[in-house]
Structure 1
Amino acid sequence: MKSDSWWKSLGFAIEGIIYAVRHERNLKIHTILAVLILFFALFFKLKFLEYIILAITVTLVIAAELFNTAIEYIVDYICKEKCEDAKHIKDVAAGAVLTTAFGAIFVGYFVLFDKVREYAGFALKRLPDLPYHLTVMSLSITVLLVVILKAIFGRGKPLHGGMPSGHAATAFSILVSIIYLTKDVMVIIMVFLLTILVCQSRVQLKIHNTTEVVIGAILGAVITFFMYKFFL
């Protein structure tokens, strides 16, 4: 089955990449993120070696995901029924992808963070100084609207389940307020990560579905944003 033509082998390899990207959601996400990172990195005036390191790291993540996909296909082909050994093989392959992804995060942090902080810091300093009570006001309005919407949709309880997610709305309302109040890039990134974890936990625990969490997040962010814009 092995091709004796280098040109045909190249074509088969490209077909394999296209097939994997087309059918594997995680590979689609990694590929899109890789293209965006390498594209926007061009605007940060990186040194040649920094860009090469970034490109190699991104390539390793994509390669690891391709290997993981191939291993999953092999295991599924051999093991037609569920078995513990097949699960362990898939878990180890997925662990390889996770390891490279964490490595990419560290590389991206050390290569890009100072550049991103420089641009983001300049934009944040241009935000106006506003009274702190706007945070409480916007948060209160967000919670009130969440309760009203839950009553309208008739799903869930005020503090549990339903449309939209009150936890997601509250978390994103706080995030927007933090952006206006601190103007510190590192603090904003940390709060953003906590916000994402809050949203992810609601879906993971099956208290909300993805749509309810996304709508809650948009609701909290938009209300808080317009509260601050209104009092400019």
Structure 2
Amino acid sequence: MKVRKLIDSFNYAVSGIVYALKTQRNMRIHFTIAFFTLLLSLFLNLNRTELIVLVLTISLVIVSEMVNTSIEKTIDMYTEKYHPLAEIAKNVAAGAVLISAVNAIIVAYLLFFDRLNPYTRVVIIKIKNSPIHLTFISILLVIIITIVIKTKTAIGTPLKGGIISGHAAIAFVVATTITFITENTLVSTLSFFIAALVGQSRIEGKIHTTTQVFVGAVLGILITVLLFQVAG
């Protein structure tokens, strides 16, 4: 009987994880990032202590998100009406997730920066000195994206609404330009982080969808690579 209860408890726990993955977008994002982070760690020769810190950090983010989901569902079970205390409870739970996510970013930077820095420099140099066919590929991609934009919709302006995010495109143009000018991995990382925040703000403001922001980011990067190719 005790074994059966233990098995049932395990199944309930797994069901909770599966539910969170099926219903919570942020949970799926956390799991995806965790997967690729752990995959990357296989190639960076982390020692035992660093691997423990990495696993604990990933677990903290996922656990925080699951607790946040539990609090939200519990509150929704008792009331569907607005209540200031319910709002406070949800905001505090969301704040816990935010703190754990920021902590994860800091830990990832401390663990991976020195190891990835040499490879990043090589990639930047290769892009700057890449063969001419990359230019033609960039031109073709930008042309294709532009044609799709023109044929799908004519609404919005370059900086508001429409099928592509103008803000995201400009932000990633600036970030890519900074990368080529400085060739400093830290500055480049911060630049792309700020550009990503610009894109995220457009999504949160419901001005653009994730796809529209992504297309803007890709277009901005490709245009900048093309310009540096021509200038070089």
Which interval holds the TM-score relative to the shorter structure? 0.7 to 0.9
Equivalent residues, number: 217
> Counterparts of 2:158 and 2:29 in 1: how far apart (Å)?
34
In the TM superposition, 1:4-153 aligns within 5 A as 5-128=5-128, 153=153
Return the offset for 1:65.
0.9
Return the offset for 1:110.
1.4
1:96-150 deviation line (CA, Å, top 9, x unaligned): 11111111122212122111213212333444469xxxxxxx9xxx9xx98xx68
Residue 93 of structure 2 aligns with an amino acid whose one-letter code is A
1:134 aligned partner = none
User: Which structure 1 segments of 5+ residues have no match?
Assistant: 131-137
Q: Judge conservation of contact 1:175–1:188 (CA < 8 Å) in 2.
A: yes
Q: Judge conservation of contact 1:150–1:158 (CA < 8 Å) in 2.
A: no
SS at match of 1:5: helix
Q: Judge conservation of contact 2:172–2:217 (CA < 8 Å) in 1.
A: yes
RMSD, aligned CA: 3.0
Q: Report the identity percentage.
A: 37
- TM-aligned CA distance change 1:31 to 1:68, over 3 Å: same
1:195 aligned partner = 195
SS at match of 2:42: helix
Return the offset for 1:151.
11
Residue 114 of structure 1 aligns with an amino acid whose one-letter code is D
SS at match of 2:172: helix
> Counterparts of 1:152 and 1:16 in 2: how far apart (Å)?
41
1:223 aligned partner = 223
Q: TM-score, normalised by structure 1?
A: 0.80
Q: TM-score, normalised by structure 2?
A: 0.80
Return the offset for 1:231.
6.5
Residue 189 of structure 1 aligns with an amino acid whose one-letter code is T
- TM-aligned CA distance change 1:100 to 1:59, over 3 Å: same
2:134 aligned partner = none
